[in-house]
Chains A and B, each alone.
Chain A
Amino acid sequence: MHSDADKKVSRRGFLNAGLVAAGGAAGWLAGCDQAQPPAPTNRQPLGKRFTYDVSEYEKVEPGQLLFAAAGQIPTGLQAASCLAVGADDALYVGGDQVIKIFEKDGRPRSALALPEPPQALALDKDRVLVAFKDHFAIFDGAGQTLLKGEALGPRAHLTAIAATGEVLFVADAGNREVVRFDAAGKVLGRFGKLGSKDGNPGFVVPSPYFHLMIGSDGLLWVANPGRHQIQAHTLEGRFELGWGQPAMCVEGFCGCCNPSFFARLPDDRFITSERGLVRIKVYDAKGKFLGLVAGHSQLAQNDQNLPVYRVACDSAGRVLALDPITGVIRIFVPKADEPQKTPAQQK
């Protein structure tokens, strides 16, 4: 049993407890780092010198626009990644884990299921060539696998595919080289690696945009984005020529690494797609700038999420541009082919 004396708190004990409590309260407040922030200094907004501004280069002269928007095809893909045009002008769009096929007027035709998300797509007669992250596969029109190429290792990041006859090419942005395969899917060789002694200036690929295609001239055309060029090679991989120069102005390729994608019109003119300053442009077969399909203000919604358009052309000379963010194919027709509007429509 406790005595009354035990229950009583002595003055000294009370003061001791009070001191500890006061110290605790002071320590609690000190532990708050900064109980309230000091009043901000009344600083002025940053001047123009501190602002990144390329709006001057986003402007497009009306006379430079050679194409006009002529409609859109929503693909319904969440992660659209690649676009190609078939011999009958059907549109093949890859994304998610499927290739969707549309008629040239935009009506859905069919779809081919894929085992994994496609990175790139091309057509060779009735074969569908698909590049995945580290290997390629060839499918027939019904989606049956005809051939599966060997995997190119953990660093591989395939970004483009093309084939002619018995030779198939893939662009590997991870290893910064082009790989040649035979008809059986066996590696025939590689070229373009920086520093290799194959007589090639070397591909500079700072980001996963590294496109290639085979032209009607029988040459393999490869984008060399770090050097701001499109370069031609023989099918054996020997460097032939290149054109393009770095520049923010409309004639050149902007930023650190462009063009991101390109295609060819039936008359061999080049269509190029750029990132950063989002613009789709037209060059002649020798690389002389001719004009634009569309400029930044037409193609970009805001600065925070800029699309990198995949481009393709059909036999009628239409330019098809796939927005990978919205999954919409935008159609552009040459201005000379644009239907003339009646005065009533113009109003």
Chain B
Amino acid sequence: MKRRAFFNGLARVAALFGLGGLAGSLARRAQAGHTVWQIDPWKCTWCGKCATECVLELSAVKCVQFYDICGYCDFCTGYFEPQPNKLNTGAENQLCPTGAIIRKFIEDPYYEYSINEPLCVGCGKCVKGCTLFGNGSFHLQIRHDRCLNCNECSIAKACPVQAISRVPADKPYRFKTLEGKK
């Protein structure tokens, strides 16, 4: 066989294999129905397993702030220790063990709280504080820029209340709306 014929054959093999691969990949994704894993905040019990059960070293689960229902409280029970020394940003007053919540003054007596996601480990400590005493605007959610979308989610497997399920990929987040509760 001539060298040219050999390379022609090789290129043909690669092209056909690639074409088949592309078609197969697209078919698989279409068959999967475009779903992703997500946490139902109405069921979540803030048990802490999201932080330790994810296959990623730093969990794909993060606290997110749903501003629509936040009370913008001065004494935010998701930000402050239950009995803080003072209502300021001193580390000893903060509830979050990794300092992942940012407190910003808006107007007296209202403050805005946002999450510094790279610092958040998804432990749910702030979510519990906010939900028990406040409006529950802090939720744990699976962030899809990090989630590997495993076939079998190891957090879902460990969740004690089956709060994690697949949702349509075009609506990948679940917030605490009254519709969501129903």
Contacts and interface: CB of A to CB of B under 8 A. Distances in A.
A249 B134 CA distance: 17
Nearest to B121: A50
A20 B151 contact: no
B4 to A, nearest CB: 17
Contacts of B27: 24, 27-28, 31
B84 to A, nearest CB: 9
Nearest to A306: B132
A21 B132 contact: no
A75 B52 CA distance: 44
Interface stretch (A129-137, A179-187, A213-221, A253-261): A253-261
Given A16-B16, A31-B25, A32-B28, A256 B151 contact: no
A155 to B, nearest CB: 14
A27 B13 CA distance: 15
A228 to B, nearest CB: 8
Interface residues of A, number: 53
Given A21-B20, A22-B20, A206-B72, A226 B151 contact: no
Nearest to B45: A304
Contacts of B129: 52
Quick one: which of B18, B19, B71, B121 has the most chain A CB within 10 A?
A: B71
B99 interface: no
A144 interface: no
Contacts, number: 167
Contact of A28 (B24, B46, B77, B82): B24
Interface string B140-158: 0000000011111110000
B73 A32 contact: no
B46 A25 contact: no
A31 B77 contact: no
A214 to B, nearest CB: 27
Interface in A266-315: 275-277, 303-304, 306
Contact of A255 (B45, B51, B125, B133): B133
Interface stretch (A2-10, A37-45, A99-107, A111-119): A37-45
A138 interface: no
A35 B133 contact: no
Contacts of A246: 75
Contacts of B53: 40
Interface string B29-61: 100100000000000011010011111010000
B24 A25 contact: yes
B75 A20 contact: no
A271 B17 CA distance: 77
Contact of B55 (A37, A52, A248): A37
A19 B76 CA distance: 62
A110 interface: no
Contact of A256 (B126, B134, B149): B134
B180 to A, nearest CB: 16
B97 interface: yes
B112 interface: no
A256 B25 CA distance: 51
Interface string A51-73: 11010010000000000000000
B8 to A, nearest CB: 12
Contact of A24 (B12, B23, B128, B149): B23
Given A19-B13, A41-B55, A50-B51, 20 more contacts: A22-B20, A24-B20, A26-B17, A26-B20, A28-B24, A31-B28, A32-B151, A37-B152, A37-B153, A49-B97, A50-B123, A51-B48, A52-B46, A52-B128, A52-B132, A206-B134, A254-B133, A255-B77, A256-B77, A276-B77
9 contacts: A19-B13, A20-B23, A23-B23, A24-B27, A40-B55, A46-B52, A51-B48, A227-B109, A228-B75
